[in-house]
Amino acid sequence: MKINLYDDIIEKCNEDKTYFSTLSSDLKNNKNFLNAILDSRASDKRWYVGNEDILRERPDAITEDPDLMVKVLGKLRGLEEEERLDDFIPEALKANKAVMMAAASQTESSSLVSWLEGVDPELLCDTEFMLPCISRNSSAFNSLPYHLRNDKNFIVECIQSNHEVYAVLPDAHKKDLDIATEYAMSRPSAKHTSVLRGIPEEVTVRKDFILAVTDRLLADGKLRGVFYAEELDPTLRCDSDVMLNAVKLFPRNLNFASAKLRNDKDLVLTALRANAENPYVRMEESLFKIGPGLIARINESQRLKSLESIDLAEKMDATLSHKDVPAKTAKLKI
């Protein structure tokens, strides 16, 4: 029988979920037919077309062939409430990584932790098997063996896959500079969420950590939450390196710098430039609480608003140092 002769039978099976059970045993175990129907369903966009009918019949060709079992598990539309997926997988295939990865993908994320309790221990030691589980449920991290729960490189991979893993880590790992930095970088974009939220204070008071995070955020170029300088330890808000990165990320951070830094020409220029260039963090000029010395000099130079734009950095430098600027017609705000 040629595969194209299966088309009518396949369509009937797809339209009527009981039709497969009426087929002869020979046809149910015909690998050409099984591959044809599974391939047709893999590309079928209809929501109700799944492989539960084949799984329930447990044909030998499926239960003895890992590749076919993976195909069957690849598209399930929901078993009955009393049915357990594991009951349909023969013991001989429960140690097969590909089969169990397919089964894991069909297990509700909320049930993954309890499901992993029955998984072969060798698979729990396999990072390729466990990482997709952890990406769907951070608590699956606790199902790892001791050596993987303390493997820094794998912990970083887990956080990159699911930032919520950070919350289930032991305190010693939360305080690790590289792990905490990866967590700050792996958070989903959120305009009003601090990138430092949830990180222990012992880490956030470290200059090297803050610089590592802000350098990564600036290099990444994506808005991954907001870096609020007001959350920083006072000693860090007096540090020019930290605050320079802070105002590049969020110009309003200038307001939380020390009084001395709020009168620092380079820092103010950086904040104003960032405010002009980044539409996602732009704020009204009146919200800048710039030190009295600089604000007075800026006010004296308001005539620049009617001049034509030259390079933004050059213009601002001229504003703050009272240089003469060629008279052209600029609309760019200082």
> 307 lies in a domain?
no
> 220 lies in a domain?
yes
> 181 lies in a domain?
yes
Total count of domains within the chain: 2
Contacts of 167 (CB under 8 A, 6+ apart): 138, 198
Contacts of 281 (CB under 8 A, 6+ apart): 223, 226, 249, 250, 251, 252, 274, 275
Q: Residue 26 belongs to what domain range?
A: 1-89
**CB neighbourhood size of 139 (10 A):** 17
Q: Is the pTM of this model over 0.75?
A: yes
> 276 lies in a domain?
no
Final residue before a domain boundary, out of 61, 89, 117: 89
> 232 lies in a domain?
no
Final residue before a domain boundary, out of 209, 226, 243: 226
For residue 288, pLDDT over 50 is answered with yes
> Which stretch of 3-12, 286-295, 313-322 has the lowest confidence by average pLDDT?
313-322
Contacts of 34 (CB under 8 A, 6+ apart): 28, 54, 59, 61, 62, 68
> 138 lies in a domain?
no
Q: Give me the pLDDT at residue 47, please.
A: 80
- CA–CA dist 283, 313 (Å, integer): 18
Final residue before a domain boundary, out of 54, 89, 124: 89
CA angle 8, 13, 15 (to 5 degrees): 95
Question: Which pLDDT tens digit goes with each residue over 203-235?
Answer: 999 999 999 999 988 888 766 567 889 999 999
> 53 lies in a domain?
yes
Question: Which pLDDT tens digit goes with each residue over 269-279?
Answer: 888 788 777 65
> 330 lies in a domain?
no
Question: Which pLDDT tens digit goes with each residue over 115-146?
Answer: 999 999 999 999 999 999 999 999 999 999 99
DSSP bridge pairs for 3: none
